Structure 1
Amino acid sequence: MNRPVLCIQTVCLVILLGTESTLPEGAREGFQVYSGEASHFSVHYSKAAAMNTVMPAGYEGRYVQGFQFYLKHSEEHKAIREFVDKVLPGEFTRIGEGKSKMDVLGVGSGGALVKKTPSLQKIPFSWHTMTCGEYEKQVKDKREIKRFDFIHMIQMLYYVDDYPGTIKFFHNLLKENSKLLIVHEAAGSGWETLWKTHRKELCTKSVSDYLSAGDIKVHLERLGLKYDEHLIPNTMDITDCFTNGDEMGELLLDFMTDQDHFHQSLTPDLRASILDLLRNRCSTEKEGRILFDCSFSCLLVYS
């Protein structure tokens, strides 16, 4: 017996994340959800799917090169995609039960990927480029609020000023029996150890503060929101970062610390402290290789 097709209509907010004066126009990230039979759904994930040519400090030159190298080196997409393929089909089947279509909202989503992906061409996408504040004002100005069956926010909360306010606003856009997905760097990961230890020195450019999934959970609990957490273990080989003069190691250090040139931008004492931290507290050693803990947490928040 053929199963009914559940049509998924996706609204992708290309949110200009950050303050009005430092909007990272090119830093667009998210994934696009497209439809299949009600018993099976496919999700395609992309981070920074659209990189524009005009970007403020922190999203230019070596940062973009380092980011692209990091994505390839860390296999971040693969790790998140495996989670998506394992967990989300069941969620969509449950959420979509008895429905002929689903409305999905992607916050921080990129557009370039959709244009290049043949399997997404038949899915109706609606793109909106604005700040979170502008979208919130637009929603509040309308008499009828558009609500969604599923909302995803992947690695975008770094770029907003009001974490609980942003979470609460988008959670209020959920329909009954729906879910909000937040993907973020895991509590206790190497990222949290690095950026919280050296918050003062590192949170000066694209990110003005650092929060991990652990901090997001605190906000969710204070808001009285129920959630399920799924850990995505992941590591990245950073051995080359400890080889003097290694070009790829230097590029990776630039990205991990948000510096233009790690060895030129930071003082000798700070460099030594960061390298010691990366080796001894952020990583494990296996067969002579230094593996940085870049695990993620996926928080599925109930409506």
Structure 2
Amino acid sequence: MAGMAKVGRLIKYSVERYLAGFTSFAAAFETRKDISDRSYESLVPDTLPCEPGTDLRVLGIGSGSGGADCVILKKLLQRHDSVYNRVIDPSEDMIKQYKALVREDSSLGAVKFDWRQQTAEEYFQTKEDTKFNLIHAIHVLYNVEDHDATLRNMWEQLADGGYMMIAMESDKRGMGKLWYKLWEEFGQGDRLKTELRTSGDVRQWLDTRNISYVTSVNERNINVAECFHEHSKEGSVLLDFLTKTAYVTDVPEIKSMALKYIRSNSSVVDDKIIFQSSIETILAIKN
């Protein structure tokens, strides 16, 4: 069946649909974005080892609109005089938003930005030999071509004593569990070749290599009531984003399974249906 083939392949199937879903998802947040972004602060180490007299070097894979990145940079500036921050993002629009944030925030004056409009794959193919003290990927690993290769490349560019920080949907509840359920029933091929990747996949990658790490989980509430309104365009693209699958409403079996799962794992508050997105942030150290 055609619908089954695209389960977990939203961005590949339609970037337009993905962006519409992302916008709808952001609008459905009950947790304020700035509070959500600040959740990464607690895991950023107070100080990072770097060679005396050099800038602390940070590599950000995928920037979103820069909110979480700025939180991380500000935390680092509390203990380090200057930071060199290389930003890798394929989206011109996201880089523009990030640059606008930086312009408005004078506290980031000691950061030297190096903007690279590239995918992670394009960037790593350039075989840059700069080593970084912190490399982070916040909500990015769903969309890279090769999950394992990206983690390996990130790890290779990390300086000794440096940290790798990754934030992803948790495999243990909410949206992440919905993805596993969808895959169980409708998935085809290798799940790691789709967008249905979770923090569990990152932990497994690290465990296999005996790399030590710490984790922290942050809950975000999403009002998914629109998904249950029969002809809501907003609800339709939101359901696409929640399932990482394009035009879910056109595939009755997938739609009904997803809505049933969401309904039974949500709480109803007034006219809102609150579903959870659990973000697990993983911090691994290169000894």
Give the TM-score of the pair, scaled to structure 1.
Answer: 0.67
Q: Between the two structures, name the one with larger relative contact order (CA 8 Å, sep ≥ 6).
A: 2
Aligned length: 238
1:174-185 aligned within 5 A: 174-185=158-169
Partner of 1:266: 251
Specify whether residues 249 and 96 from structure 1 end up closer, same or farther in structure 2 by C-alpha distance, changes over 3 A only.
Answer: same
Percent identity, aligned pairs only? Answer: 22
Answer yes or no: is 1:123 the counterpart of 2:114. no
Partner of 1:300: 283
- Give how far 1:283 is off: 2.6
Give yes or no for contact 1:187–1:213 (8 Å, CA) kept in 2.
yes
Q: Which amino acid aligns with 2:117?
A: T
Return the match for 1:83 from 18, 39, 63: 39
Return the match for 1:278 from 262, 268, 277: 262
1:178-216: CA deviation from partner (whole Å, max 9, x where unpaired): 211100001222222222212264789xx7252211121
Q: Which amino acid aligns with 1:63?
A: Y
Looking at secondary structure, tell me which structure has more strand per residue. 1
Partner of 2:150: 166
Partner of 1:219: 205
Give the TM-score of the pair, scaled to structure 2.
Answer: 0.71
Answer yes or no: is 1:102 the counterpart of 2:56. yes
Alpha-carbon distance in structure 1 between the residues aligned to 2:95 and 2:151: 23
- Secondary structure of 1:111's partner? helix
- Secondary structure of 2:28's partner? helix
Looking at secondary structure, tell me which structure has more helix per residue. 2
Partner of 1:196: 180
Answer yes or no: is 1:257 the counterpart of 2:243. yes
- Secondary structure of 2:47's partner? helix
Give yes or no for contact 2:225–2:273 (8 Å, CA) kept in 1.
yes
Return the match for 1:237 from 223, 230, 247: 223
Partner of 1:138: 126
1:41-98: CA deviation from partner (whole Å, max 9, x where unpaired): xxxxxxxxxxxxxxx64211x432221121132247334322134443xx14354696
Partner of 1:69: 24
Alpha-carbon distance in structure 2 between the residues aligned to 1:138 and 1:251: 36
- Give how far 1:245 is off: 3.2
Partner of 1:13: none
Specify whether residues 251 and 203 from structure 1 end up closer, same or farther in structure 2 by C-alpha distance, changes over 3 A only.
Answer: farther
- Give how far 1:148 is off: 0.6
Give unpaired runs (5+ residues) of structure 1: 1-23, 28-55
Give yes or no for contact 1:203–1:209 (8 Å, CA) kept in 2.
no
Give yes or no for contact 1:225–1:301 (8 Å, CA) kept in 2.
yes
Give yes or no for contact 2:165–2:281 (8 Å, CA) kept in 1.
yes
Partner of 1:210: 196
1:4-28: CA deviation from partner (whole Å, max 9, x where unpaired): xxxxxxxxxxxxxxxxxxxx9xx8x
Give unpaired runs (5+ residues) of structure 2: 1-9, 64-93
Alpha-carbon distance in structure 1 between the residues aligned to 2:226 and 2:115: 40
Give yes or no for contact 2:13–2:246 (8 Å, CA) kept in 1.
no
Specify whether residues 240 and 211 from structure 1 end up closer, same or farther in structure 2 by C-alpha distance, changes over 3 A only.
Answer: same
Alpha-carbon distance in structure 2 between the residues aligned to 1:278 and 1:102: 43
Alpha-carbon distance in structure 2 between the residues aligned to 1:188 and 1:130: 32
Specify whether residues 121 and 112 from structure 1 end up closer, same or farther in structure 2 by C-alpha distance, changes over 3 A only.
Answer: farther
Partner of 1:17: none
1:160-186: CA deviation from partner (whole Å, max 9, x where unpaired): 344233212211211222211100001
